[in-house]
Amino acid sequence: MTGSSTDATALSALPVGMFDSGIGGLTVLHECLVALPDEDFVYFGDTARFPYGPRSRAELELFADQIARFLEQAGVKLIVVACYSATAAALPSLQERFATPIVGVVTPGARAAVQTSRYRRIGVMATEATVESESYVHAIRGLDAGAEVHQQACPGLAEYIQDGDVASREVADAVRAYTVPLKQKRPDVVIMGCTHYPLIAPLLQRHLGRDVTLVNPAAEVAHEVEEILDRRGIARREEREGEYRFFCTGDVESFRAVGARFLQMPLEDVTHVPLERLADLRP
């Protein structure tokens, strides 16, 4: 066996790492667990510093760098930035600094929206940080220069969902307030540009109307992870049931209780990571 094939075999046994500002990224993990049932996964939720949406680019770059270093030291073969704010702010710098391949969630969603849209009018509902970065505008127009892109920032919406509130009058009122200006642009496709939003997809669909197609980039991310692992020759090839475990910077019991609703699978192995430990992980 050659050295390169030995390396690939050793790498294939490692888990895929994934991180998010909170528990919203569990919607991405869910799709990955379904699409790649024999792979192992390690998920990191930075719940003590949630939400990321109002954070500055410098803060997001720092947080993303710390967590990527934590995951790399834990031993992973690929890192998924399952957070739109962190992807928008930090993905290019992460890809430059780390040897481990790193993918984000913006490009897969943009690709799906462009392929789905009939009238080339695409809406994006996202956090303030994602909207301000214009990452979706650049990604969509990189695929279709003539596409109209209409963004809608949704301050506070992810916070409701993070707390487990997906059906209250307050959430419904917030959704109505954010969808009214977007509907005036008459998009035929709207990207749920925050990992939390798929949990309120029925509310979004009701207020956007049945003629609008909602795009959940999570499934597209799972396909991209599968393609990268295959292309690099580091996918698990055994007939096995993969394992998954979790780290979080906030309260473990809250993460476990609310997170199970997002993951829609058992969520048990959760380890607390103090922020001081992340602060010690420097470039």
Domain 106-217 has CATH 3.30.160.270: no
In this prediction, residue 7 carries a pLDDT of 75
Per-residue pLDDT at 2 exceeds 60: no
* Residue 164: band (very low, low, confident or very high) from pLDDT cuts 50, 70, 90: confident
In this prediction, residue 1 carries a pLDDT of 40
Per-residue pLDDT at 5 exceeds 60: no
For the chain, give the percent of residues with pLDDT over 90: 84
In the numeric block, which tokens belong to residue 92? 């290019």
Average pLDDT of the residues in 105-113? 94
Instruction: Please state the domain extents for the chain.
Output: 3-104+219-279, 106-217
For the chain, give the percent of residues with pLDDT over 70: 97
b/e map 149-159, b = 16+ CB within 10 Å? bbbbbbeebbb
In this prediction, residue 127 carries a pLDDT of 92
DSSP sequence for the chain: --HHHHHHHHHHTSPEEEEESSSTTHHHHHHHHHH-TTS-EEEEE-GGG---TTS-HHHHHHHHHHHHHHHHHH--SEEEE--HHHHHHHHHHHHHH-SS-EE-SHHHHHHHHHHH-SSSEEEEEE-HHHHHHTHHHHHHHHH-TT-EEEEEE-TTHHHHHHTT-SSSHHHHHHHHHHHHHHHTT--SEEEEESTTGGGGHHHHHHHH-TTSEEE-HHHHHHHHHHHHHHHHT-S--SS----EEEEESS-HHHHHHHHHHHH-S----EEE--HHHHHT---
Q: What is the CATH T-level fold of the domain 3-104+219-279, as seen in this structure?
A: Rossmann fold (3.40.50)
In this prediction, residue 3 carries a pLDDT of 47
* Residue 90: band (very low, low, confident or very high) from pLDDT cuts 50, 70, 90: very high
Which residues pair with residue 150 across a beta bridge?
123
Asked if 3-104+219-279 and 106-217 have one fold, the answer is: yes
Q: Which residue has the higher pLDDT, 167 or 41?
A: 41
* Residue 262: band (very low, low, confident or very high) from pLDDT cuts 50, 70, 90: confident
* Residue 8: band (very low, low, confident or very high) from pLDDT cuts 50, 70, 90: confident
In this prediction, residue 89 carries a pLDDT of 92
In this prediction, residue 4 carries a pLDDT of 55
- pTM for this model (two decimals): 0.90
Active site residues: 83, 194
Average pLDDT of the residues in 83-90? 93
Q: Would you give the distance in Å from CA 57 to the centre of its chain?
A: 17
